[in-house]
Amino acid sequence: MTGLYTRWAMILGATLLLASLTYQHYQQHLSTLSVGTLLGSPSATQPVRIQGMVKSGTLKGDVEHGQATFEFVDGSAGLFVEYQGPSLENIRELKTLVLIGRWDSQAQIFRAQDTALIHNFGFVAAAYLISVIALGWMVFAMSQRVMVLFKEIKESKLYEPEADSLGHKE
Amino acid sequence: MQKMINRIIRQIQRYKGWFGGAAAICLFLGLYMGLLASPPDYYQGELVRIMYVHVPLAHTSTLAYSVLFGGSIWYLWKRDPLVDNMCQASASICALFTTLALITGSIWAKPTWNTWWTWDPRLVSFTVLLLILGGYIMLRRLVDDPIRGGRYAAILAIVGGIDLPIIKFSVEWWRTLHQPMSFSTRGVSISEDILIPLTLMSIGCWLLFAYMVMVRTQILYLTDLLHAKKGRLLSQTHFSQTAP
């Protein structure tokens, strides 16, 4: 039994390591701030990601050449955006998207340099968790059942030599 | 031939630990590449990562049913109890893989198609596979005589085998939301970034299925052995108590 639990502790450890690496990756590359949270924070030196919608009637500039200004709203909160980056078809009015850039709190302008799709990472995490937990639990339960059966067979002394009709053991 | 099949099954049983170890390595590498190393898709974004679990699970469930189908034909022909145990093991594991494939597909469909379920030919044929497996498992449990139950279940598995080509070719026969076949005589239509984690996860799932079948077959064999020996001991005890 000890061997079984040691093996499974190693598998669990590796799975937890992978989960923590994925969580770090999510925090560094995918997680987004709301517009309201960004408005209350000081200027950031590192690029941040914000999620919201391009407000209707505010998009100006030359999106095809990667230069535009617009208002970006998230619920009741909104901010002014100066976009300068790659030409993207994503930037259009009423489009919900993720902007990557730096927040200038003094000028109250978000200087965006790139965009990203909404990641929907909750769905990814749900699919992986359900699959890994269900398969892992099933394999563990089966391995444990084999051990229990072997133990039961051993304890019942069913492997004892069988006696013949005259009572002599083989 | 029968001796050879039995020898192969026993040899595989002996080395099942290697299958389990290889499955664990492939799955961990596949999960690492699928979750961290591979880039997001241009259209699907991060959601493409669900494909690295959904597609291998679906492939493995059809592989598992193929094993059940072949094993059932063999069992009806030779009446080999070891193959019958293997079929029983494959059915329950196939049901697990099919259920997980349907659940992960549904999770992917919600943000992509904006619905958890749609009456798509491949979805329907896959659900029919799950229902057949449910029927197989119920039949084995409900029929009192295990030999008769095994025979009926084998017939059901063979009849249900008609669903396999329907699943495979449903994307070509009917109008469907699923993409056409990615592997064909015209070549492979998947980029390398997606192909590597997908292949690793698929191999990992196949090895895991093989390992699970071996362990489950062993459980069924040990349970039968325990019942048989217990029954014999009980009858011996009963005989010694009732003897004058």
Q: Where are the domains of chain B?
A: 19-177+191-242
Indicate the pairing of strand B187-188 with strand B183-184.
antiparallel
- Assign B176 a pLDDT band (cuts: 50, 70, 90): confident
Predicted confidence (pLDDT) at residue B201 exceeds the cutoff of 80: yes
From chain B, the residues in CB contact with A119 under 8 A are 40, 45-46
The two structure tokens encoding residue A59: 């998009």
Asked if A149 is an interface residue toward chain B (Cβ–Cβ < 8 A), one would say: yes
For residue A170, what pLDDT is reported?
Answer: 47
CA distance B196 to chain A (A): 18
Predicted confidence (pLDDT) at residue B244 exceeds the cutoff of 70: no
Note the pLDDT tens digit of each residue in A143-169: 999 888 888 877 776 555 555 555 555
Cβ density class B158-196: b for 16+ within 10 Å, e for less: bebbebeebbeebbeeeebeeeeeeeeeeeeebeeebeb
Q: Give the B-side interface with A, CB within 8 Å.
A: 20, 24, 28, 31-32, 35-36, 40, 45-47, 49-50, 53-54, 57, 93, 96, 100, 103-104, 107-108, 110-111, 208, 211-212, 215-216, 218-219, 222-223, 225-226, 229-230, 233
Which residues have C-beta within 8 Å of that of residue B26, sequence separation ≥ 6?
B200, B201, B203, B204, B207
Mean pLDDT of B173-191: 73
For residue B23, what pLDDT is reported?
Answer: 94
For residue B198, what pLDDT is reported?
Answer: 92
Q: How far apart are the first and last CA of chain A?
A: 31
Q: Which residues pair with A150 in a beta bridge?
A: none
For residue B60, what pLDDT is reported?
Answer: 95
Distance CA B3, CA A45 (A): 72
For residue A155, what pLDDT is reported?
Answer: 77
- What number of residues does chain B have? 244
Indicate the pairing of strand A67-74 with strand A77-84.
antiparallel
Across the interface, whether the CB atoms of A156 and B212 are under 8 A apart is answered no
- Assign B49 a pLDDT band (cuts: 50, 70, 90): very high
Helices (H), chain A: 2-29, 35-39, 121-155
Mean pLDDT of B87-107: 95
> Which comes out higher in pLDDT, residue B216 or A3?
B216
Mean pLDDT of A83-89: 78
From chain A, the residues in CB contact with B212 under 8 A are 138-139, 142
> Which comes out higher in pLDDT, residue B28 or B176?
B28
Distance CA B178, CA B108 (A): 12
Predicted confidence (pLDDT) at residue A13 exceeds the cutoff of 90: yes
Are B59 and B101 within 8 A, CB to CB?
Answer: no
CA distance B185 to chain A (A): 32
Nearest CB among A25, A123, A127 relative to B36 is that of: A25
CA distance A105 to chain B (A): 30
Provide the 3-class DSSP secondary structure of residue A70: strand
Note the pLDDT tens digit of each residue in B116-126: 998 989 999 99
Predicted confidence (pLDDT) at residue B56 exceeds the cutoff of 90: yes
- Assign A142 a pLDDT band (cuts: 50, 70, 90): very high
Asked if A126 is an interface residue toward chain B (Cβ–Cβ < 8 A), one would say: yes
Mean pLDDT of B200-220: 93
Across the interface, whether the CB atoms of B32 and A18 are under 8 A apart is answered yes
Q: Which amino acid is at A95?
A: K
Q: What angle do CA A92, A97, A103 make, to 5 degrees?
A: 100
Are A139 and B208 within 8 A, CB to CB?
Answer: yes
Across the interface, whether the CB atoms of A127 and B53 are under 8 A apart is answered yes
For residue B230, what pLDDT is reported?
Answer: 73
The count of other CB atoms within 10 Å of the CB of residue A106 is 7
The two structure tokens encoding residue B240: 């010694």
Note the pLDDT tens digit of each residue in A18-67: 999 999 988 888 888 888 888 777 766 778 888 888 888 888 887 777 78
Predicted confidence (pLDDT) at residue B70 exceeds the cutoff of 50: yes
The two structure tokens encoding residue B24: 């664990």
**What does the mean pLDDT of chain B come to?**
86
The two structure tokens encoding residue A135: 């398969």
Q: What is the Cα A167 distance to its own chain's centre?
A: 67
Distance CA A140, CA B60 (A): 19
Q: Which amino acid is at A130?
A: I
Across the interface, whether the CB atoms of B57 and A127 are under 8 A apart is answered no
Distance CA A10, CA A132 (A): 15
Q: Which amino acid is at A28?
A: Q
Q: Which residues pair with A163 in a beta bridge?
A: A169
Q: Which of A24, A29, A88, A123 should one mutate to test binding to chain B, selecting the residue with the greatest count of B CBs within 10 A?
A: A123
Q: What is the Cα B156 distance to its own chain's centre?
A: 16
For residue A30, what pLDDT is reported?
Answer: 82
Q: Which amino acid is at A56?
A: S
Predicted confidence (pLDDT) at residue B98 exceeds the cutoff of 80: yes
Sign of the torsion formed by the C-alpha atoms of A148, A152, A155 and A157: negative
From chain B, the residues in CB contact with A127 under 8 A are 50, 53-54, 103-104, 107-108
Q: What does pTM read for this prediction?
A: 0.84
Provide the 3-class DSSP secondary structure of residue A97: strand
Across the interface, whether the CB atoms of B225 and A14 are under 8 A apart is answered no
The ipTM is 0.86
Mean pLDDT of A73-78: 84
From chain A, the residues in CB contact with B40 under 8 A are 117, 119
Mean pLDDT of B60-81: 93
- Assign B221 a pLDDT band (cuts: 50, 70, 90): confident
**R_g of chain A, CA atoms, integer Å:** 30
Predicted confidence (pLDDT) at residue A129 exceeds the cutoff of 90: yes
Provide the 3-class DSSP secondary structure of residue A162: coil
Are B171 and B122 within 8 A, CB to CB?
Answer: yes
Are B97 and B57 within 8 A, CB to CB?
Answer: yes
Which residues have C-beta within 8 Å of that of residue A75, sequence separation ≥ 6?
A34, A35, A36
Residue A26: Cβ-neighbour burial (10 angstroms; 0-12, 13-18, 19+): middle
Which residues have C-beta within 8 Å of that of residue A109, sequence separation ≥ 6?
A79, A80, A81, A82
